[in-house]
Every structure is written in C-alpha cells, then in structure tokens.
Amino acid sequence: MNKPVLDIQDRPSPMQWLTLSLQHLFAMFGATILVPYLVGLSPSIALISSGLGTLAFLMITKWQVPAYLGSSFAFIAPIIAAKTAGGPGAAMIGSFLAGLVYGIVALVIKKAGYRWIMKLLPPIVVGPVIIVIGLGLANTAVNMAMNNPDGKYSFTYFSVALVTLAATIVCSIFLRGMLSLVPVLAGIIVGYVYALIVGVVDFSKVVEAKWFEMPDFLLPFVDYPVHITWDIVLLMTPVAIVTLSEHIGHQLVLSKVVGRDLIQKPGLHRSILGDGTATMISALIGGPPKTTYGENIGVLAITRVYSVYVLAGAAMIAIIFGFIGKVTALISSIPTPVMGGVSILLFGIIASSGLRMLVDSRIDFGDKRNLVISSVILVIGIGGAVLKVTEQFQIQGMALAAIIGVLLNLILPGRPEVNENMFEVKENSNDHVA
C-alpha cells in the first residue's frame, strides 16, 4: 500500500476539506440522482438521504470506514413494481424492510461470524443475479433513449441519447485521474448542452425556482398509511441478497485500498448495520435504498486521501444541495433521453460486473453444477417468472431468481469450501450495483 496523503483519522485543512469533499460529491452525483429520476422519486431527497445515510454509516462504523453511500441500482425494478402496486408509500415500506434485513444479518454476524453468509451468497449465485439486474433494465434504458413523452419513436430524442452515450464512453475511456471517475456526470452535462441546442430542454422551471426550497419529503403516517403486505415483503427484501454481497465485496476492496482489515475491525456487522440504517433513514424521508459506492472507493484509491472527515464533508454538501431549489429544478429539467443514454452504459456495466465477478472468482462452467445454477437464475430473472401462491402472496422476477439460486446452491452436491480469511481472498473491484 502506498503511504496515505491523509489517513483515516487525519483532519484536512479547511480548503483541502472543501476541495476533496467536492471530488467525492461529483463522483457519486450522477448515479445517485439517476436512480430517483428513473423510479419517480425526488432527486433532492436522494441527495439529502445519501448525506444523512453516509453520516449514520460513519458513526455506526466508529469513524473507521471511509465510504460514501448513494442510491442503489439493484432496487430500481422492485421500487417501480411496488409503486405501481401500492404507490410511493409501498416502495418506502419495502425499502425500510430491506434495511431491516441488513440489521438482522448484522446481528447474526456479530453472534455467529460471517462464514455462513459466504456459504449463502457465493459468486455463482450473486454473479448471475447481478447480470439479471442489469439486463432486466435494458428495455427501460432503450425506451427512455428512443421515445418522446407520447411514447413514439423520435430521431431527435435518440440523437440526444447517442450523443450522451458517446460523451460518457469517451470520458470513461480517455480521461485520466480524477476526471475518469465522473464519466456519468460529464456525459449528462454534454448531453444536456446538446439537448439545449436541439430544443428539448424546458429551462423555465429553473428560472422560476427559488434558491432555498423545502424538498418534498415523503413521511410515513403523514403522507401514506403504513400497511405491510406479503407482496411488498417478497418484492423488496430478497434484493438484499444481492446488495449484501455487493457490500461485502466493497468492504474487501476498501480494506485493500486503505491497508486495514475492515472485516475484522470495526467488523463486517458494523458496516452492514450502517448500510441498513442508511437505507431505513432514506425510506423514512422518501429516498431510494442506499449502498456503498465503488466510484468513491476509486477516488480514495487515486487520491490516497482516506480521511473520514472528507467523506463527512461530502455528505454535508449533499444535504445542503438538497435544499437548493435551483439545483433541484436543474436536475428535474434533464431530458429523458439524456438519462436514457447514460442508462444504456450504466445498466450494461451492472450486467458486465456480474460477469466480471464470475471471471475473477474463476467459476468453472465445465462443472454442471455451476452451469445449472447460473442458467436457472438468468432465465427466471430476465424472463420475469412469477410464483403465485395466492393473489396476495407472489414472488417474481429477480427476487424469485435470487431465492431459487440460493436454494440450488445449498441443495446441489459439490459446494466448494469457503476461505476462512476473507481479507486475503483475491477480490474483484467491480463497480456498485448500484
């Protein structure tokens, strides 16, 4: 490990603090606002909840784990389905329950260790489920890119999406250093400028917006009744199978970056509890579920600035941004094809990160056991299979694929042994699943 510029507990000077915190803000910004944009939630609440969630995570991990938590891509399809079935309130209830699953898992890990969760969620299960998340959203990205608000094909809209996609790819491949970590933000900016030129941006709301504006918080018992159903439970909580594995992967990569075994100290149970708490806080105010962000881990690796104070500073700036009406209005004015163009690449990267997990873990597809598990997960998940026990009790799509994958891995013979020392395992550094 290279010697850190600022170690985990080091406090930067005021100007360093602001500059370094802004870098982390830019790294997470594009992806964090894309999720609420896709599912119809408030981008300003997403920013505020990411800030609050990150601060909660830092406190729960005793200010020993430098990580930033942003909007999770894994929950996009379940949130859309929950909103369709029961409105935004149902999606928030489901998100809260998913966070609660994290809390339960954290308690079990504290008592029983982490070996059991590695048996439950090996790469042969998680990799294909991540692929399902990415490919399951492919149709959404393409429709956003091609179609106008009436749902009809538009060459102008598609050209905006293609320009945005091209800019994002160019920034991702050719930019170096810190700039290479913000291709999504750069792509959105280029696409927005092009959209302005071809006349598909309505800038009037930005002009009319106030500088300070109270966000549209979505509060339980105030804005919606709290009613838990099996539909919500089975739609949202199984996604935790994927995000828990993602969390473990990020902790392993982060341990390598900072040169400390974060799995042992402050402990995997603390970081998982922090992640779940962030998701529950977000659900209580109307934001999407949270996850640790690979982009911000990348910033840590490049800058060698591991200070938790810098991450806390980014969280505070995100909260402040959520109350600036001009910022919220500007985000809301981004045309759908701009987000569609970015989504084509992002959703593909999610699917590809699942493939990368399988490659890095050296999964042998000459082994019929691995072939069976991955094949069943992919077809059930992408095909949108539904298991209906009753009209009120059904499991569908990704959730069903994940559950069947876990069961097949536990039942079929030939399950490989789990390495006792997670920190020494060669771990992939795939981007968040977001």
Which residue has tokens 């809260």?
96
Contacts of 374 (CB under 8 A, 6+ apart): 124, 127, 128, 358, 363, 365
Give the pLDDT of residue 302: 78
Task: Give the tens place of pLDDT for each residue, 377-419.
Answer: 999 999 988 888 766 667 777 888 888 999 999 999 988 876 6
pLDDT for the residue numbered 430: 44
Q: From CA 161, how far away is CA 167, in angstroms rounded?
A: 10
- 199-255 pLDDT tens trace: 888 888 888 888 888 988 999 999 899 988 888 888 888 888 878 888 888 888 888
Backbone angles phi, psi at 425, to 5 degrees: -70, 140
The answer on pLDDT for 113 being more than 70 is: yes
pLDDT tens digit string along 172-206?
888 776 666 678 778 889 999 999 999 888 888 88
pLDDT tens-digit series, residues 325-366: 888 888 888 898 998 898 898 888 888 888 988 998 899 999
- The C-alpha atoms of residue 399 and residue 377 are separated, in whole angstroms, by 10
Separation of alpha carbons 371 and 399, rounded Å: 20
What is the pTM for the complete model shown?
0.82
Does the pLDDT of residue 431 top 50, yes or no?
Answer: no
Q: What is the mean pLDDT of residues 259-273?
A: 92
**Tell me, what DSSP letter sits at residue 235?**
H
Residue 102 near residue 75 (C-beta atoms within 8 A): no
Q: Which residue has the higher pLDDT, 66 or 431?
A: 66
SS (H, E, C) 125-194: HHHHHHHHHHHHCHHHHHHHHHECCCCCECHHHHHHHHHHHHHHHHHHHHCCHHHHHCHHHHHHHHHHHH
The chain-wide mean pLDDT, for the chain, equals: 87
> Between helices 308-322 and 325-332, what is the axis angle to 10°?
80
E strand or H helix at 291: strand 290-292
Any alpha helices (H) in 175-293, and if so which ranges?
183-198, 204-208, 230-236, 240-258, 268-285
Is pLDDT of 420 > 60? no
Packing angle of the helix pair 138-146, 336-360 (nearest 10 deg): 150
